[in-house]
Structure 1
Amino acid sequence: MIDRPLYLDRIRPFIGKPVIKIVTGVRRSGKSTLLQLVRAELRSRGVLGTDMLDVNLEVYANRHLKNPDLLYEQVKAWADELDGRKGYLFLDEIQEVETWEQLVPGLQTEFQIDIYLTGSNAHFLSSEFATYLSGRYVEISVFPFSFSEFVRLRMNDGIQETVDEAFDVYRVLGGFPFLSYLDYAPDPCREYLLSIYDTVVLKDMVERESIKDASLLGELLPFLIANIGHTFSGRSIERMLEGENISISVGSVLKYVQVASDANLLYRASRVDVMSKKVFKSQEKYYLVDQGLREAVYGNNDRNIDQVLDNIVFLELLRHGWKVTVGDKPLVVSGTDESASAPGGASREIDFIASKGSRKLYLQVCYLLADESTIEREFKPLEELRSDYPKYVLSLDKVDRSQNGIMHRDIRTFLLESDDLLG
């Protein structure tokens, strides 16, 4: 187990405060381990073990506690023994409890205890729950290991390798924490990742959302996973599946994409017109919670390296709390404000526009700046952008090609320095 300061630093200001801490994220991303780290911090502050109650609601022995009345009785019995001391309650996979959104606020109010929850499905943070809590909660989103965490873990495990060698493993197998126990052996890792995928699909999508046609979902998801970072269109997916003799409506496509997003499997990036700031209601892009799942489900991470690099950078921005959109920027004609289409009728796309409070970043991501046409394609949209915010081109090149105020960085270095650059 390694320390995860990126998440602990977000939780610390709320420890002991009358707000419910909710840790969300895809299954096996480290949510339960994060709660262990919080408990260790509490012990270091002098909190007794008996003043903490930990209930994992997916453990078979606790299956009866999915009944909210029985869970209430157990918490009450523990709280009554605190004798005026502060109590700390940890409920793992809270969405397993019926009507939990009514139970949890009541526990906080009645017993004056500090509550920490985890959940694997974002849908459980519904508007109904927000109404019950009335702003008395904070959400911390947890992801599989970042590249810097991945490198630190491998160093702790005594693995001798270069940064480049570590990244070669990371971009294929990803950052799910348990992979270290498999020594990153490719075949066992892929089997484990497939088991995560199957569990997410079955428990957090099919069962939780009562999906009747699981086979249709099974046909759609691999297509979405294969096409991460590509422009999404419900209509085009409908036509594509029809070509495979699979009948699905646009409405069903959109529903299943939302279900995958609720399960923290996919993340959406809206497309924004850089000039007008207009958000387009279509042509957004979707990214996967971990590139290792793509390798397990679809393969070809090394062959589709541009997509994988996009996905890795997108997730790194999310880890650090940035809101990320895709930028559409028309070409400028002869220095005027009139816009024109790029070759082939396309506008110049900016891969990511990241916003965090008053800060903003513009980023282009590519595999290699192999020739002048590639350099122009990546740098030109940023050069034409009238903004003083930082602009980056990220690639796997070792040579620094920074120019005209645009910083060029090796993606590996950018990821290792992300705590300073993005924090």
Structure 2
Amino acid sequence: MEDLITNTTNFVVRERYLSAIEAFIDQPVVKVLRGMRRVGKSVIMRLLIERLLNRGIPSANILYINKESLAFDAIKDYRDLYRYAVDYFKAASTGRTYVLIDEIQEIEGWERAVASFLADGLGDVVISGSNAGLLSSELATLISGRYVEIPVYPLTFREFLTFRHAPQEKLDKEDRTEAAAEAEAEFKNYLRYGGLPGIHQLPFNDEILFSYLNAILNTVLYKDVITRHKIRDASIFDKLVRYLFDNVGNITTAKKIVDYFKSQRIRTSVDTILNYISYIEASLLIDRAPRYDIKGKRLLEFSDKVFLSDIGLRHGLIGYREKDINGLLENIVFKELQARGYKISIGVIDQLEIDFIAEKQNEKKYIQVCYGLGSEAIIERVFGNLEKIKDNYEKMVISMDRFFPAERNGILHRNLIDFLLGE
């Protein structure tokens, strides 16, 4: 099939995702790629198809359906999907068959078809979706216990450098000063334009990239939120999106937002705001990190912090503002920790805040993030908050400073760029 042999020469391989899928290939579980639109799920699928073909799998044994293509517009529901797959594989050779479906949430009742694929042994199944609730519906119980979820995120800074043709080996050259300067220059681009792969096909200037990013944001908001949830008051919804994007890294409560809107003579309710935020979160545009009382060992209700899946989308909407640098750096560290597989919360101890508690299996880290440690007052505040925590888990301050001591009273310091390029 012509679709399967698309030239992938110019595709950048994101090995962490391909390896995660390949670990379960030919196993009786559905591989689910979940991520916001335009994070690169389709390219990952194309590269997976290329690897299957290179293994000698005949193209007739691989079915790829991309629901963003009009070629598959006739597949509306699970019945259409099942019939299409059965008919397609009538021409298959003997041996294993593979079903890959992009943006599967556009197919009504897709879970029934996928459950039937598993029951009938029709093929090894890989699907992708851009909705957080992809596997939370009642129908999803049909494949409960028979899927593995692989979250796909925007580019990490390390991946960003690869897309910019500045791989790690280049930055490891002998001239460390030159390498650091190159990484710092690219970090400014990353901070400004974010990590969506598509930006690397365009010239790096504000007018072009901010327009592109704003178009993506509008597509996600319209297709995945306004249309899907039948939002009628688009004006309040638009103002809420701007509020959330403008308050990245800040404590956000529905009551606080309603009070702010009231001060602007905009009438709405707490329930409406809560619903709208849940819709935006389901589209994977934002993440909410709960606050955790370190001494009381309990989650604090109704006071989450909001972070963006991609800061470039924020700048496409409201522009880049240097004064917001601390919140932007927090957002970058949050997404990096998330990509590394950590569960993240915000720490609270004696009414003071710890930016991140990052946990994975038996590992825990406490992390503070700031732009610079330029005064004794800042140093005392940032390190002092961590010193109040009396357990033995790793504690770290991350900043843009390059020449700050690597440790202070047992608390580590890392330069932000070095942290992002580490493991």
1:305 maps to 2:310: no
Deviation at 1:183, TM superposition (A): 2.3
Question: For 1:66, what is the secondary structure of its paired residue?
Answer: coil
Separation in 2 of the partners of 1:196 and 1:124? 20
Letter in 2 for 1:134: S
Number of the residue aligned with 1:334: none
Distance 2:394 2:54 in 1: 40
8 Å CA contact 1:172–1:302 kept in 2: the answer is: no
Displacement of 1:22 in angstroms is 0.9
**Partner residue in 1 for 2:153:** 143
Alignment check: 8 A CA contact 1:107 1:113 kept: yes
Q: Distance in 2 between matches of 1:184 and 1:87?
A: 42
How many Å separate the matches in 2 of 1:283 and 1:120?
26
Structure 2 partner of 1:350: 354
TM-score, normalised by the number of residues in structure 2: 0.92
Q: Tell me the matched-pair count.
A: 402
Q: Which runs of 5+ in 1 are unaligned?
A: 331-346
In structure 1, what is the Cα distance between the partners aligned to 2:300 and 2:18? 35
Indicate the residue corresponding to 2:418 in structure 1.
Answer: 413
Q: Please name the residue that 2:174 is paired with.
A: none
Distance 2:353 2:323 in 1: 23
Report deviation, 1:56: 0.6
Distance (whole Å) between structure 1 residues aligned to residue 81 and residue 186 of structure 2: 44
Supply the distance in 1 between the matched residues of 2:354 and 2:389 (Cα, whole angstroms).
10
Select the residue among 388, 401, 418 that pairs with 1:397: 401
The one-letter amino acid of 1:358's match is N
Match of 1:7, SS?
A: helix
What is the match of residue 367 of structure 2?
A: 363
Q: Is residue 165 of structure 1 aligned with residue 185 of structure 2?
A: yes
Scaled by the length of structure 1, what TM-score is found?
Answer: 0.92
Match runs of 1:4-403 below 5 Å: 4-155=14-165, 162-330=182-350, 347-401=351-405, 402-403=407-408
Q: Give the share of equivalent positions with the same residue, in percent.
A: 36
Query: Hey, what's the Cα distance between the residues in 2 that align with 1:412 and 1:230?
Result: 23
Q: Helix, strand or coil: the match of 1:306?
A: helix
Shift of 1:284: 1.0
* 1:122-177 Cα shifts (integer Å, max 9, x gaps): 12221414311121011111111111111111126999971110011110111111
Secondary structure of 1:155's counterpart equals coil
- The answer (yes or no) to whether the contact 2:60–2:91 under 8 Å persists in 1 is no
Per the alignment, residue 3 of structure 1 pairs with 13
Q: CA deviation at 1:353?
A: 0.2
Which region of structure 1 is more displaced relative to structure 2, 74-83 or 390-399? 74-83
Deviations 1:25-47 (A, max 9, x none): 11101011111122222223222
* One-letter identity of the residue aligned with 1:309: L
Bigger drift between 101-110 and 20-29 goes to: 101-110
Unaligned ranges ≥5, structure 2: 1-10, 172-178
CA shift for structure 1 position 106:
1.0
